Amino acid sequence: MKIDHFEHPHYRARRTGAVPRPPRPDIPDTVELEGIRSQAINTSRNRLIVTGALMALAFAVIAGRLIELAVVKDGAPKPIARVSETPKPPKVRANIVDRNGTLLATSLPTAALYANPNHVLDPELAAARLVKVLPELDRRQVLKKLASKSTFVWLHRNLTPDRQFRVNALGVPGLYFQSMERRVYPHGPLAAHVLGITDIDGVGLSGVEKQFDATLTGGKGSLRLSLDIRVQAMFRGELARVQEKFSAIGAVGVLLDVNSGEVVAMVSLPDFDPNNPVTAAGDAGFNRATKGVYEMGSTFKLFTAAMALDSGVTNLNTRFDATKPIRVHGYTISDFHPLKRWLTVPEILIHSSNIGAAKMAIKVGTARQKKYLRLLGLMRAAAIELPEVGAPLTPDRWRDINTMTISYGHGIAVSPLQLTAAVATLVNGGFRAEPTIVKQSQSANRPPERVLKPGTSEKMRRLMRLVVTRGTGRKADLNGFLLGGKTGTADKPGNRGYRGRRVISSFVGVFPFDKPRYAILALFDEPKGLKETFGYATGGWVAAPVVRNVVGRLSPILGLRPRAESPIASKNRQAKNQPTRQRNKNLAAN
């Protein structure tokens, strides 16, 4: 503290007239009072420390009370409310491509709109503005969300960049965006049942999307399927046309590589658009190719002939009495077009004789029949990489009557995919064909399991060719493509048994029959007969022409060129004009 010299007592006395004492020469005009300043500073500091301590204590008491009220009540802990529920960005989902690398499913970046109602100043105004930009929103629902006490509410997902910009331009506080992905299927319904769908959060719900959900979520590379989307599109178009023509309630198409088991095409109608998951509701979402199981009718005669030939109980010259129907356990087994004579094994297939097949099965025996059906994969669900797979229906008690009816495809129900794979086993040299929807690498192939002898497989290929050139499958014949196969027409069981006129009509084929590469199936559920088909809706009238048309259109895509008839086929065609006894002899020899 400094004192100005004009305020010194000596000068003040002179102004007032008092006689002061003379000043001491050792006292300066300015005096520093250090002790007073230090004392003031110490006093202020002590007061601040005390005040801060009191305030800290007060806050500690308040905080303790708040914790007591919010977390604990009556001795029971309460969950602490989360301050924010802002969603985390989803992981990138991998693409799905066909065997040629064509994109089948991908994910596009989108924006999701959410809000923190605590940050919204005027919920009514915000709701009104949002509905103008996003008219599909319900104003009352939006207002309810924005006026809630929550800290997070979803408002809209999958916004395009344009719509995101328009919402952002509203300038409404409390609205936020989260980066999301939307699953997109460029080909729409073409492979809907194979690909399946995902939910709004990108989790697989069906098909490949569900089966490989963990792999796809990882986002490492693309999942390559065995499908060829070109073949799929062509097959689907042909099936849809014929389904509409015959007023069928459903249709199935399968094309399978007989050596690798790869599914090149798989169609199930009706189908849906995976870009709009609500269209998968009801019958449209049902995969008839893998999930549906049906009594396949006369196509099963192929398996009956194969097990009879392979086990050695018959040969191509063996004849069976088909002169009259079989009556057993109150049932009658008859032929659709009875010939009323003895039939060779080739003739049983050519004319699709139920009587001949039943008697052939009795000769094979129940034990052998079950063994071969198991080896052919017809007694268990197909081992394909899809979650929608149906298990076959087999008899609880396998009696002689079951053995006979199963010989011509009644009394056992399997999926169309199972049937196609089993036929592939018949013609590929006798190795089990395990169907797969994933493109296989050579290194990943497992050693094949032999089911039939090579000679049996060769005979079955020739017999299937005879059915197309001489029998019920003639409408599938296509010059130069050497197609073999078998028709099937099975009555559908109902509440009153098999009394209705509802049928499953199918044709299963292989091509080229001398060196098979593909097995193909066309199936129609409850087709109706037409005037041009004389009222018939059998496999020969409905399904066989579909296979012919599909094979003819697909062969260039699959790299198959027309070839001349083989000597065996030419010989069989010539035999058609020979007397019956001589023709039977030639058929048996071939």
- Beta strands 223-224; 96-97: pairing state: parallel
Q: Cα-Cα-Cα-Cα dihedral of 187, 193, 195, 197, to 10°?
A: 100
Reply yes or no: is the peptide bond before residue 512 cis, omega within 30 of 0: yes
Tokens (6 digits) for 105? 């499913």
- With DSSP H G I counted as helix, E B as strand and the rest as coil, what are the percentages for the chain, rounded to 5? 40, 20, 40
Other beta carbons within 10 angstroms of residue 65's beta carbon come to 10
298 is catalytic: yes
Is 490 in a helix, a strand, or coil? strand
Please list the alpha-helical segments (H only) found in 198-300.
Answer: 207-211, 213-218, 229-245
Other beta carbons within 10 angstroms of residue 407's beta carbon come to 30
Q: Report the C-alpha gap between 122 and 580 in whole angstroms.
A: 94
Indicate the length of the chain as a whole number: 590
Q: Report the C-alpha gap between 462 and 453 in whole angstroms.
A: 15
Tokens (6 digits) for 426? 């018949």
Contact 319, 344 (CB under 8 A): yes
Other beta carbons within 10 angstroms of residue 141's beta carbon come to 12
User: DSSP characters for 147-197?
Assistant: TSS-S-EEEEEEE-HHHHHHHHTT--TTEEEEEEEEEE-TTGGGGHHHH--
Other beta carbons within 10 angstroms of residue 549's beta carbon come to 18
Q: Which of 107, 206, 226, 298 is catalytic?
A: 298
- Beta strands 153-159; 103-115: pairing state: antiparallel
**Listed residue (363, 382, 386, 478) closest to 424, CA to CA:** 382
Residue 178 main-chain phi, psi, to 5 deg: -125, 130
User: DSSP characters for 389-433?
Assistant: -PPPB--SS--HHHHHHHHTT-S-BB-HHHHHHHHHHHHTTSB--
**Listed residue (254, 223, 237) closest to 104, CA to CA:** 223
Which residues are annotated as catalytic?
298
